[in-house]
Structure 1
Amino acid sequence: MLIELFKLELLHRQASDRPPTQILAILRAASGAPALECPTETANPSIATKTPLLPDPFEFLSGAHVASKEDWTCRRNEISQLFQQYELGVKPGPSQNLQSDFYHYQNGTGGNLTLTASNGDQAISWTATIVYPNSPKHTGPYPALIALDLLTVPVPDGVAVITFFVSEFAQQDNTTSRGKGLFYELYPDTSPEAAGALIAWSWGLSRIMDVLTNSSDTGIDPTRVGVVGCSRWGKGSLVAGAFDERIALTIVQESGSGGAACWRLSDVENVSVNGADTVQTAHEIVTENVWFSTEFEVFASEVDGTQRLPFDHHMLAGLVAPRGLLVIDNLGYEWLSPWSSYGCMTVARQIYKALGDQQAMGYTEAANHTHCQFPVEDQGAELDAFVGKYLLGEQSQTDVFRTEANFTFDIAMWIDWEAPDLS
């Protein structure tokens, strides 16, 4: 049965020729920011001065400091807008029309969810697969993990798996993939703020969440949904969790630079820690693929250019807070920036600590193993704990933050701010 979910006015607009304050206003509307008493005038970010330190997530662009959870909500909106303007591209609001059709498999094991989104005469359709838990002791509505393209962790007992084929939604073969895929058929946009593949995937996942929220046909509980991806899809899972607050658990597996690693720290690790050009950096990423916006290339192509950004990826992880976040890393691949990821997430956990739920964020960095081949014996218990707590409603212990490496990270060398107590 075809179900019409809603009709909304298109929020996405061209912003390339507008001054920064107007761009931020457009981004605020597109991101669906909560109707709070946030400052109406947003200061322009300072991007002229380079600093190797990781920026303060608790200081507004205006210079004011976050002093409450309400302040953090406003600052979170500001950070979201900055990431969209300078790194990821704009995430549009919902399409004018969204419809869905769920085809149940005859054997009762799941079904195919087909979505059709349209703006005026322009329409796209895509299909996600849903597989229910293979256990008679579990009945729906089920919690679910949305896997980007493929699932690389064990299927948790009692949890459905939704596979979202993101590579057809926004292609990412190489730098010639820019603007190719279903998303760009619906949102043809060549402005500097045009969406990179990661934010395009995030938009598609949000439409799946719209369907799960507004229709019971799928048999999925929309309040218990997580997202998971590995490598480039790990970058995508972090962006998806950061930009949709309905995601209860974000699992980021072996994502490296552009994911759990901080741009600034990866540059340092590439030269100082390894002594050779063996770590993926922003400069390399923009010559490899189209995960990020064209605007980001300005910073990535300049020597130490990412030091001009008014954010780094500790703040992207902070957009997930205080919801569940588990970062799974692998020491066996220097290319994945293991020291940068550990240090970046060490700083990101300060945001969770400030919000009074440090245990909602976990980090586990295991010894060498094949890329994206999950070591159950080493990290399985930690995965089970987070899935149990955030998707199955169990009383799990999620206070995990560890690396099996012999390196250390001196947080005092990389930040000049302290996390406030907002709890």
Structure 2
Amino acid sequence: MTRMILAGVYAAMMGMAGAGTALPDPLTALDGTKIGNPAQWREKRRPELLELLTKQMYGRSPARPEKMKIEVFDRDPHALGDKATRIQMALYPNGDPKGPRMDLLVYVPNQAKGPVPAILALNFWGNQAIHTDPGIRITESWVEEKTSYVNLSAVKDHRALEGSRGINAKQWPVERILERGYALATMYREDIAPDHEPYFASGAQSLYPELQQGDDNFGTIAAWAWGLSRAMDALEKEPAIDAKRVGVLGWSRLGKAALWAGANDERFAAVYSHESGAGGAKLFHRGVGENIERLNRVFPHWFARSFRQYVGKDTELPFDQHLVMALVAPRPLYVASAIEDKNADPEGEFAGAKAAEPVFKLLGAGGLPAETWPAVGQPVLDGIIGYHVRPGGHDLTDHDWEQYLAFSDRQLKAR
């Protein structure tokens, strides 16, 4: 009976998916076996989906590095006017201080009585960009120059200057997050892997040249996801953080990485996809918004070379992004869109989350309590899968953070 109900729910999703071949059923194994109980999902379907997506899209990532060194180089209990304890850690994946270094910035609310839940997210312009706090170490990694967020006082010759402090603070309501009882942790994407040419010559990927040899090479989205797991390694060692209640969040390309990190690393207690679009939450099968051709042409380093075989075949894929989100189950998942963010196909992001629902229900977690795409400004917060679409375009706003915090109050803080 349960299997029949789930099949009905999934069949209803076919219409929402849009053009092209039918979406692959998350509860039908590659050999045709129907997945009807949690054990079958755990032992058969989940492992084969991880392997399929690794081989055909994201590329193969290395295991946790045995020699990784974590150095706490700053702990200030009087940060942000005594509101927070600022903790900064340097992560050396190969244990060598001369090798790649990833700086992890953590703010912990001082009003907390014990270990607190945390939200972990990568940032776009360096840790110092999220706040004007003069104690944040300025990134030494490459930084974009041609963007509305920076100017001559912020970046020179692709290096961040003092003027870069707080240039992206509008997307990071640090004090508000702390007031709600959450720690905030962040790392700079370029500390982990370069988003510019030469794509694989530095950062974590340079430590694993053997993983660049095949068609399932270690792509940059996968590298960022791997870096998020290394940050989780560090947070597990920090007594002020409740490591059982750490959610991973990402915006845009970093939302793609957050989803893949959450799919692979079940230590993340919740996953938040913010306007992650193509290669994130949206369904390729709809044939709407950014497509596989553009992803591989403009960002050839993001995914494995094997993904290029699907250029022009968006609506015929043997997989799609609902399967990535299904791998998050039964943990909380939140997907958010912006109505003017056409490349990300907002309705397709909702459809992707909804198409993952049968797995969440099979595992007894519930689902996304909305049968049709919600109206703009009407968040759905009362299910294990949450969703909202807000007015405006591609951005991370206070409205978005308010929904994430409300969802977290239900799914992280309440645990």
* Pairwise TM-score range, normalised by the shorter structure: 0.7 to 0.9
Q: Is the 8 A contact 1:242 1:316 kept in 2?
A: yes
Asked whether 1:345 is paired with 2:315, we answer: no
Q: Which moved more, 1:244-253 or 1:335-344?
A: 335-344
Identity %: 29
Match of 1:61 among 5, 21, 30: 30
In the alignment, which residue of structure 2 is the partner of 1:87? Answer: 57
Deviation at 1:98, TM superposition (A): 1.9
Judged with a 3 Å threshold, the aligned counterparts in structure 2 of structure 1 residues 161 and 375 are, in CA distance, closer, same or farther, namely: closer
Distance in 1 between residues matched to 2:412 and 2:173, nearest whole Å:
15
Decide whether the 8 Å contact of 1:228 with 1:234 is kept in 2: yes
Is the 2:228–2:261 contact (alpha carbons within 8 Å) kept by the matching residues of 1? yes
Q: Which letter maps to 2:356?
A: A
Query: Normalised by the size of structure 1, how large is the TM-score?
Result: 0.71
User: Would the alpha carbon gap of residues 97 and 380 (structure 1) be closer, same or farther in structure 2, given more than 3 Å must change?
Assistant: closer
From 107, 116, 141, give the equivalent of 2:92.
116
Find 1:234's aligned residue among 228, 246, 255: 255
- Contact in 2 for aligned 1:245/1:320 (Cα 8 Å): yes
Deviations 1:288-308 (A, max 9, x none): 1121111101212xx32x445
Please give the per-residue CA displacement for 1:197-250, whole angstroms capped at 9, x wherever unaligned. Answer: 11111111112222332x245x21111111111111111111111111000111
Contact kept in structure 2, 1:329 and 1:366, CA below 8 Å: yes
How many angstroms apart in 2 are the aligned matches of 1:96 and 1:384?
35
The separation in 2 between residues aligned to 1:370 and 1:331, in whole angstroms, is 7
The reply on whether 1:244 has 2:244 as its aligned counterpart is no
Task: Determine the structure 2 residue equivalent to 1:285.
Answer: 295
Q: Do residues 362 (structure 1) and 372 (structure 2) align? A: no
Residue in structure 2 matched with residue 199 of structure 1 by the alignment: 222
For the Cα contact (< 8 Å) 1:224–1:390, is it kept in 2? no
Q: Deviations over 1:91-136 (max 9, x none)?
A: 2211232221113333442211111222899953321111112x52
Counterpart residue number, 1:21:
none
One-letter amino acid matched to 1:142: V
Q: What is the distance in 1 between the residues matched to 2:56 and 2:38?
A: 25
1:40: which partner in 2? Answer: none
Return the letter of the residue paired with 2:205. Y
Letter in 1 for 2:189: V
Q: CA deviation at 1:167?
A: 2.2
**Residues 1:71 and 2:40 are matched in the alignment:** yes
Q: Which residue of 1 aligns with 2:118?
A: 144
1:384 to 405, 408, 412: 405
For structure 2, the 5+ residue unaligned runs are 1-18, 79-84, 125-129, 131-170, 368-382
Structure 2: which amino acid aligns with 1:240? A
State the 1:71 CA deviation.
Answer: 0.6
Q: Secondary structure at the match of 2:94?
A: strand
2:187 counterpart letter in structure 1: F
| Unaligned stretches of 5+ residues in structure 1 | 1-49, 270-278, 395-423
Which amino acid is the alignment partner of residue 126 of structure 1?
M
**2-side partners of 1:153 and 1:104: how far apart?**
21
Tell me if the contact between 1:116 and 1:124 (Cα under 8 Å) persists in the aligned partners. yes
The answer to whether the aligner puts 1:131 opposite 2:141 as a matched pair is no
1:145 CA displacement: 0.9
5 Å-filtered alignment, 1:295-374, equals 295-300=306-311, 303-304=312-313, 306-357=314-365, 358=367, 359-367=383-391, 369-374=392-397
Q: How many residues align?
A: 322
